[in-house]
């Protein structure tokens, strides 16, 4: 380093070097210093927000010390690293996690307590870092936590959106969106690195010329430039000094913006132009599992990928290794197809900028990348119109054509008789306009492709990527079942349960090795343990009941069965089937005599989740849930037997309260549509049972916890095509119980029936694409069984304990170890 401290002064540096606070008093000193200097406040002017900011500054300083040590160590050891490229990191709040992972929770808690604050109130001040839509973004957040906790050298790369996922309010039963300006009070958890500024280019043209060696080469020129500024978020591992980095890029105008206009006196428009640069990283696209081909989205993707690769390559070049070492030093994981352009960008850097031969470069590229697929839904697969793509990234399009040409030549040799094959697997879809199929490019440019649960990984091999299995063989395709971090999703969300488990395991070691949960299995039959377990569930239900009271004004009884479905609203996730069954329950109870009612298991049906702003059907489902809630909750015939609640603005922080409070959670996607699901894991880990379909990770959860501890129903994935075909071409009657529900809606029981016309048609027309009618009977039967089984409290709790004891497999630490060993080929850094 050119700018390092002279050798003679280093002793001095060491003497005054920053250290981490070790006790309460040292924390308090830091806290007060931050209130008075960083915030320029005083003891007469320090509210909860200021106290939160000061406490997080103190903790952040601590993380930075550990971050520096880790980065220095990783640089010295110079082992292979992984870079996890994800357009979404749904981190939630940082403070509680930072305290836990750094092991300073008690110090901080008592420290702020002495000063007259409650730690819980301070934690509440922090806005969620909601830089993601749902499962995919939250998975990335769990993964960076696990990479640090298992001491792997790995960084996340993402975008620093100024607006996270929108805030949801419910007005007159409808979803209303408002912007999530989460940076309003500054963000103590990021370190701006204004010196790390990378120029990124768009548009322009390519020019061919003959170089010194007489070779024709193509270069990319002209165009528009913006700058990427790095913001680093320290990611502390649990119970280890390892603190990794999550580098998020923000877009800024380049320093030399449009001087010509500036000088010609058109000052305003020149400033306006330069401001446009900042919109690139301004807002997260709010679609989950849906592709919409907006140019700004492609700009975001390339901006983030170009900055990240430039950074990665720059770091590699500092080691002066030959290019052939690249993939021995670097693994890059593509979280879905969003960063697929990285494959092309690396090829461009190696060939156009570094002068490597095409084949040598391509070998490096393919051995560097791995691609994770998260969906088989056709409407979610990214395809960019060729004209749009070629206009924004002209050189990249040329490179894609070359990649495709070499690939198709190989395929043609392998399958000389199958003429259709070439059209089927071509990266360019021959539609009008032509489209770039990003998933195909991701497969061709990676050495491993994985799905996120067993069924899903099998399905991609037999459906959407079938031809590629024929071309590459099965070894390229594998499964890594998702996982969740037990730090946030057990210990932070459910401290009491974690403590009870620790009392039997002997320590909190299960937070590092979740398979140790197995040690509580024998206590599933211990009456004393069962009682303590049940008390904790009740406590957690009371906490959720308080939230419901506060947000919805609805009183719910903690003795009722809490039935929860929280996730993004999507037809394939079938919240419509859930609310139809709630209506069925309502109609059934209403028709009962007083005597019959005595047998009813009281239930609170809890919904939550956001709809993409432009997804009409999902918005209609939200409206129906709220309308049913209105009618049912005030019906005196029903009382506490049934309550319906829609919790607005479901997010990570609310999930931390909701997951520990369920008796039953629903994961009821049409078989074959939910790649994995991860909230299913969160709910079971917190001592709730699942009502679910034979889909995604539900299948592996069943295998681990035992089929007697889960309520499965519905048709299997293998029958789905047939059933759809039947409905489309034959006259299949609709399920009679479902018909009663529809009659009630159409009779106006839940307000203006016209609102629900298209929703009803989607299950009664000759389509019912998601098989709501076909699965309805078996769904109702499973619900009945739930009602019956919940009456036997002791057996119920015992089943929950057994389930938790067998959830060890679903730690994201396990998932990360699998990626590390079978895809990234990286080792943990030794102490």
Residues near ligand HBZ, by CB under 6 A: 133-136, 139, 287-289, 291, 374-375, 380, 452, 482, 674-678, 696
Give the nearer residue to ligand HBZ in terms of CB position, either 188 or 486. 486
Give the nearer residue to ligand HBZ in terms of CB position, either 379 or 559. 379
Q: How far is the CB of 459 from ligand HBZ (least distance, A)?
A: 12
What phi, psi does 6 have (nearest 5°)? -60, 145
Q: How far is the CB of 677 from ligand HBZ (least distance, A)?
A: 5
Tell me, rounded to whole angstroms, the distance of Cα 572 from its chain centroid: 18
- Active-site pick, 80, 252, 374, 448: 374
Q: How far is the CB of 145 from ligand HBZ (least distance, A)?
A: 15
- Active-site residue 374, yes or no? yes
- Active-site residue 634, yes or no? no
- Active-site pick, 24, 437, 573, 814: 573
CA distance 292 to 295: 9
Q: Can you tell me whether residue 420 is helix, strand or coil?
A: helix
Give the nearer residue to ligand HBZ in terms of CB position, either 145 or 737. 145
- Active-site residue 318, yes or no? no
Report the interhelical angle of 454-462 vs 698-705 (nearest 10°).
140
- For the record, the structure tokens of 142 come out as 């769990």
Q: Are strands 224-236 and 191-202 parallel, antiparallel or unpaired?
A: antiparallel
- Active-site pick, 568, 574, 584, 585: 568
Which residue's CB comes closest to ligand HBZ? 135
Give the nearer residue to ligand HBZ in terms of CB position, either 270 or 693. 693
Residue whose C-alpha is closest to residue 130's, from 51, 60, 67, 187: 187
Residue carrying the six token digits 């991860």: 678
Taking the alpha carbons of 676, 678, 683, 687 in that order, is the dihedral positive or negative?
positive
CA distance 193 to 232: 7
Could you give the C-alpha distances from 536 to 258, 440, 531, 533, 786, in angstroms and in order?
A: 63, 49, 9, 5, 21
- Active-site pick, 375, 481, 678, 693: 678
- Active-site pick, 567, 570, 574, 667: 567
Calculate the dihedral angle through the C-alpha atoms of 95, 101, 106, 111, rounding to the nearest 10 degrees. Answer: -40
Q: N- to C-terminal Cα distance for the chain?
A: 24
- For the record, the structure tokens of 664 come out as 């039953």
CA distance 695 to 692: 8
Q: What is the DSSP letter of 349?
A: I
Residue whose C-alpha is closest to residue 158's, from 81, 89, 90: 89
- In terms of C-beta density within 10 A (0-12 exposed, 13-18 middle, 19 or more buried), how is residue 630 classed? middle
Q: How far is the CB of 285 from ligand HBZ (least distance, A)?
A: 7
Are 407 and 444 in contact by the 8 Å Cβ rule? The answer is: yes
- For the record, the structure tokens of 587 come out as 């109609």
C-beta atoms surrounding 279 within 10 Å = 14
Give the nearer residue to ligand HBZ in terms of CB position, either 296 or 405. 296
- Active-site residue 70, yes or no? no
Q: How far is the CB of 184 from ligand HBZ (least distance, A)?
A: 25
Give the nearer residue to ligand HBZ in terms of CB position, either 112 or 618. 618
C-beta atoms surrounding 385 within 10 Å = 18
Give the nearer residue to ligand HBZ in terms of CB position, either 517 or 675. 675
Give the nearer residue to ligand HBZ in terms of CB position, either 442 or 505. 442
Q: How far is the CB of 87 from ligand HBZ (least distance, A)?
A: 7
Element holding 105 (H helix, E strand): helix 105-114
Q: How far is the CB of 440 from ligand HBZ (least distance, A)?
A: 16
CA distance 609 to 565: 9
Q: How far is the CB of 381 from ligand HBZ (least distance, A)?
A: 9
C-beta atoms surrounding 105 within 10 Å = 17
Q: How far is the CB of 379 from ligand HBZ (least distance, A)?
A: 10
Alpha helices (H) along 318-431: 326-329, 341-348, 358-368, 386-392, 394-414, 419-425
- Active-site residue 682, yes or no? yes
- For the record, the structure tokens of 532 come out as 């303590």
Buried/exposed code over 510-526 (b: 16+ C-beta within 10 A; e: otherwise): bbbebebbeebeebbee
Give the nearer residue to ligand HBZ in terms of CB position, either 672 or 696. 696
Are 624 and 581 in contact by the 8 Å Cβ rule? The answer is: no
Give the nearer residue to ligand HBZ in terms of CB position, either 135 or 236. 135
Q: How far is the CB of 70 from ligand HBZ (least distance, A)?
A: 27
Q: Are strands 243-253 and 154-159 parallel, antiparallel or unpaired?
A: parallel
- For the record, the structure tokens of 538 come out as 């009740």
CA distance 256 to 205: 20
- Active-site pick, 93, 643, 682, 715: 682
Angular region, 149: left φ>0, alpha ψ -120 to 50, beta rest = alpha
Q: How far is the CB of 301 from ligand HBZ (least distance, A)?
A: 10
Residues linked to residue 479 through DSSP beta bridges, in sequence order: 451
Tell me, rounded to whole angstroms, the distance of Cα 140 from its chain centroid: 6
The 8 Å CB, 24+ separation contacts for 784-789 are: 785/711, 786/561, 786/563, 786/601, 786/664, 786/689, 786/691, 786/711, 787/561, 787/600, 787/601, 787/603, 788/601
Give the nearer residue to ligand HBZ in terms of CB position, either 230 or 376. 376
Give the nearer residue to ligand HBZ in terms of CB position, either 167 or 643. 167
Q: How far is the CB of 572 from ligand HBZ (least distance, A)?
A: 9
Residues linked to residue 680 through DSSP beta bridges, in sequence order: none
Give the nearer residue to ligand HBZ in terms of CB position, either 396 or 567. 567
Q: How far is the CB of 783 from ligand HBZ (least distance, A)?
A: 23
| Residues catalogued as catalytic | 374, 567-568, 573, 678, 682
């Amino acid at each position: 380093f050119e700018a390092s401290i002279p050798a003679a002064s280093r002793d001095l540096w060491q003497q005054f070097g920053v250290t981490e606070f070790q006790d309460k008093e040292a924390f308090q000193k830091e806290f007060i210093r931050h209130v008075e200097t960083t915030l320029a406040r005083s003891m007469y002017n320090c509210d909860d927000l200021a106290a939160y900011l000061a406490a997080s500054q103190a903790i952040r300083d601590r993380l930075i010390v550990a971050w520096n040590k880790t980065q220095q160590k990783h640089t010295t050891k110079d082992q292979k690293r992984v870079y996890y490229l994800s357009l979404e990191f749904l981190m939630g709040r940082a403070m509680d996690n930072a305290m836990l992972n750094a092991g300073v929770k008690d110090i901080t808690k008592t420290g702020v307590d002495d000063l007259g604050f409650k730690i819980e109130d301070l934690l509440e001040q922090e806005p969620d870092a909601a830089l993601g839509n749902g499962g995919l973004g939250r998975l990335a957040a769990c993964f960076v936590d696990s990479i640090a906790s298992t001491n792997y050298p790995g960084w996340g790369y993402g975008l620093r959106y100024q607006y996270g996922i929108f805030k949801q309010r419910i007005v007159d039963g409808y979803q209303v969106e408002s912007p999530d300006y989460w940076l309003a009070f500054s963000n103590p958890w990021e370190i701006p690195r204004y010196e790390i500024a990378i120029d990124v280019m768009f548009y322009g043209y390519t020019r061919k010329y003959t170089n010194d060696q007489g070779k024709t080469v193509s270069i990319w020129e002209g165009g528009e430039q913006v700058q990427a500024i790095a913001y680093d978020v320290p990611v502390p591992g649990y119970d280890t000094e390892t603190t990794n980095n999550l580098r998020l890029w923000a877009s800024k105008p380049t320093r030399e913006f449009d001087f010509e206009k500036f000088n010609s006196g058109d000052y305003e428009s020149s400033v306006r132009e330069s401001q446009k640069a900042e919109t690139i990283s301004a807002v997260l696209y709010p679609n989950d599992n849906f592709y919409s081909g907006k140019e700004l989205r492609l700009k975001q993707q390339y901006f983030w990928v170009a900055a990240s690769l430039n950074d990665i390559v720059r770091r590699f070049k500092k080691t002066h290794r030959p290019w052939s070492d690249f993939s021995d030093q670097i693994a890059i994981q593509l979280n879905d197809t969003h960063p697929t352009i990285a494959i092309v960008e690396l090829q461009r850097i190696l060939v156009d900028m570094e002068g490597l031969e095409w084949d040598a470069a391509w070998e490096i590229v393919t051995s560097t990348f791995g691609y994770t697929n998260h969906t088989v839904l056709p409407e979610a697969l990214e395809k960019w119109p060729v004209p749009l793509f070629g206009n924004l990234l002209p050189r990249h399009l040329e490179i894609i054509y070359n990649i495709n040409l070499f690939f198709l030549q190989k395929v043609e040799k392998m399958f000389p008789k199958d003429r259709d094959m070439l059209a089927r697997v071509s990266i360019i879809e021959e539609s009008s306009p032509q489209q770039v199929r990003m998933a195909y490019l991701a497969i061709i440019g990676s050495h491993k492709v994985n799905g996120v649960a067993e069924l899903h990984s099998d399905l991609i091999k037999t459906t959407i990527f079938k031809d590629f299995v024929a071309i590459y063989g099965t070894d390229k395709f594998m499964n890594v079942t998702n996982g969740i971090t037990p730090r946030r999703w057990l210990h932070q969300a459910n401290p009491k349960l974690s403590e009870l488990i620790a009392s039997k395991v002997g320590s909190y070691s299960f937070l590092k090795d979740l398979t140790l949960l197995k040690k509580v299995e024998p206590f599933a039959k211990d009456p004393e343990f069962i009682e303590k377990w049940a008390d904790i569930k009740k406590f957690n239900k009371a906490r959720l009941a308080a939230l419901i009271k506060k947000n919805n004004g609805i009183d719910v009884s903690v003795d009722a069965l809490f039935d929860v479905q929280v996730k993004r609203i999507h037809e394939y996730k079938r919240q419509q089937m859930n609310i139809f069954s709630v209506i069925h329950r309502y109609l059934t109870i209403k028709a009962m005599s007083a005597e019959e009612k005595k047998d009813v298991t009281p239930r609170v049906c809890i919904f939550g989740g956001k709809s993409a702003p432009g997804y009409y059907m999902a918005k209609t489902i939200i409206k129906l849930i709220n309308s049913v809630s209105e009618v049912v909750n005030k019906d005196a015939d029903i009382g506490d037997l049934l309550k319906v609640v829609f919790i607005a603005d479901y997010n990570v922080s609310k999930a931390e309260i909701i997951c520990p409070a369920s008796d039953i959670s629903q994961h009821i996607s049409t078989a074959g549509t939910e790649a994995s699901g991860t909230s299913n894991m969160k709910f079971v880990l917190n001592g709730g049972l699942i009502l679910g379909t034979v889909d995604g990770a539900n299948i592996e959860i069943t295998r681990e916890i035992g089929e007697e501890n889960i309520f499965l129903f519905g048709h299997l994935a293998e029958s789905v095509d047939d059933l759809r075909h039947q409905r489309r071409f034959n006259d299949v009657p609709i399920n009679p119980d479902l018909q009663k529900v529809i009659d009630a809606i159409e009779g106006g029981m839940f307000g203006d029936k016209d609102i629900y016309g298209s929703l009803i048609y989607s299950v009664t027309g000759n389509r019912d694409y998601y098989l709501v009618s076909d699965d309805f009977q078996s769904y109702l039967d499973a619900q009945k069984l739930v009602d019956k089984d919940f009456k036997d409290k002791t057996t119920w709790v015992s089943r929950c304990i057994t389930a938790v004891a067998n959830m060890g497999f679903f730690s994201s630490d396990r998932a990360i170890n699998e990626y590390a060993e079978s895809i990234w080929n990286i080792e943990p850094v030794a102490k």
